[in-house]
Structure 1
């Protein structure tokens, strides 16, 4: 079925403007029917509204057949591009996320409501539940951040096994949360992409980025400036939010989760180390908190992980 036909057949397919954290922001809501369970997406990055964005109307029928999907380009990117300064903290974005959930609840008071979050978005999902433990019915996460993202021993050990010189490895060792620059983050990320499977595991089936980009370019809702702001936006060269990310520790929050919280981790993810997530879940003795490892997958979801996301959301929403 073509994209136009998917949009035509969706009984819910509309852009809403909500005041989130004091800022008017546009959100896309779409689904096959009005009585479906709802999934709100918290994208990663920060500032990377892919694959689920306000420009993605009609692009994911595998989701909208079973769920009403809510796509939010977080303030500072995409259709909600905005200059961000030091006042935009993790807590401020968590407030926006809570406001979004409450607005969706007002529109669909009888529907069950879930969150799908990835990477940076997983910080928001945990922070939302820290403040409002039962605000949604369940959460599915990929690439859960706990603490020490990027600047950790697993990254150093992996890079030490590559072609990088000892001098470069020693220079990376000296970078920490107190002295890093945005260029440092870009450099380490580039090395990880080039020499490891930390971000993308080439053994697994990949999502077509070209298809996603083309879909956004052809979006009925994006203007060209919105498309540009998917990649270059208020987060570009922004170290304020990264300071918060690099210093966050969600260990206690996750251990105390009160609703079903399903974490899907790639087996080669060392950005948010999978071994750390598994250890935390195993030690938590919390039946709400579960972790499943997806093979041939890094921090960025491949097709296997996307398929597993759908499966876990269906289990939460439809299996009693």
Structure 2
């Protein structure tokens, strides 16, 4: 593949990862900048549609977006879905190795967002030597659903919502069914009117404005989310969060939306406080909810510049 464009890096196309053609975009303005490998959430909510944020990030980082197995353009190429989280972990590690071959002296910062923070977390555990730092945004933890439920019960002013929906949920979020988790995430996001909604304000406008997306891509995006969810929801909804790392040799950063209704700040702090790392930092992104890095991309890259300097010194 041809990726170098004087003086930077640019590639959009398919790479073979563990036997599957998967869509990857690489955008950077200098070959010496650290790589930011973004592991999207969902499952199958590909972030390659956030092209405006990517252009901003690419001034200081070489940004790698990857439509995972079962997501976006990868699903359009071949309708293959992940059978397990480990499929995604294996593909992500294979992609990381290819990036190392392409840019052997460049550090890789691994970023996992939302459900992608589980995948990225497992990637670090299984192949830590490939990476120089970890960033979690919308970091999923074992406390996320419970704190989100408590937060919505406390904050909502909708009496009908409380009496006819919330109060029918088991108070202990560990007892929720897969359908209850899915429905809760949708409704809780819609209740947060004081921050950008991740679907209506962030995903849909960026999806419709993405220059590399057309009607067939929109269809593949929607279908990929449905089939990937159907394939993975049981594993995700019963995931043992004790599997998440608690100790790493990498700098460990968390970017947290101040008013995230799905992965609340209080829940993320509990997990963050358990982490042992040579350097760790939790950054609250003001005035944002879920997908904080795309709601305030300039704030994100300004704060991430400290980590950029740190990995370049290694």
2:38 to 37, 41, 47: 41
Give, in angstroms, the shift of residue 248 of structure 1.
2.5
- Report if the CA contact (8 A) 2:249-2:278 is conserved: no
Distance 1:78 1:254 in 2: 29
Tell me the SS of whatever aligns to 2:223.
coil
Distance 2:235 2:143 in 1: 11
Name the structure 2 match of 1:255. Answer: 246
1:21 to 18, 21, 37: 18
Q: What TM-score, normalized to structure 1?
A: 0.80
Structure (1/2) with the larger helix percentage:
2
- Cα deviation, 1:212-235, whole Å, max 9, x if unaligned, reads 23432x32xx45322332333253
Aligned residues: 301
Tell me the SS of whatever aligns to 1:229.
helix
- Report if the CA contact (8 A) 2:39-2:112 is conserved: yes
Q: What TM-score, normalized to structure 2?
A: 0.81
Give, in angstroms, the shift of residue 32 of structure 1.
1.6
Name the structure 2 match of 1:196. Answer: 192
- Report if the CA contact (8 A) 1:17-1:25 is conserved: yes
Name the structure 1 match of 2:54. Answer: 60
Name the structure 1 match of 2:267. Answer: 276
Name the structure 2 match of 1:95. Answer: 90
- Cα deviation, 1:17-76, whole Å, max 9, x if unaligned, reads 3222331212111222333221111111111113x34x84x7732122222221111111
2:280 to 265, 289, 308: 289
Q: 1:208 to 1:179 in 2, by over 3 A?
A: closer
Distance 1:210 1:84 in 2: 24
Give, in angstroms, the shift of residue 89 of structure 1.
1.0
Q: 1:171 to 1:306 in 2, by over 3 A?
A: same
Distance 1:304 1:59 in 2: 9
1:136 to 124, 131, 134: 131
Tell me the SS of whatever aligns to 1:173.
coil
Name the structure 2 match of 1:215. Answer: 209
- Report matched runs for 1:54-203 at 5 Å: 56=51, 60-81=54-75, 82-83=78-79, 88-150=83-145, 152-159=146-153, 161-162=155-156, 163=158, 164-173=161-170, 180-182=177-179, 184-196=180-192, 201=195
- Report if the CA contact (8 A) 1:138-1:260 is conserved: yes
Distance 1:61 1:273 in 2: 28
Tell me the SS of whatever aligns to 1:232.
helix
- Report if the CA contact (8 A) 2:8-2:30 is conserved: yes
- Report if the CA contact (8 A) 1:39-1:70 is conserved: yes
Tell me the SS of whatever aligns to 1:264.
strand
Distance 2:37 2:306 in 1: 16
Alignment gaps of 5+ in structure 1? 1-6
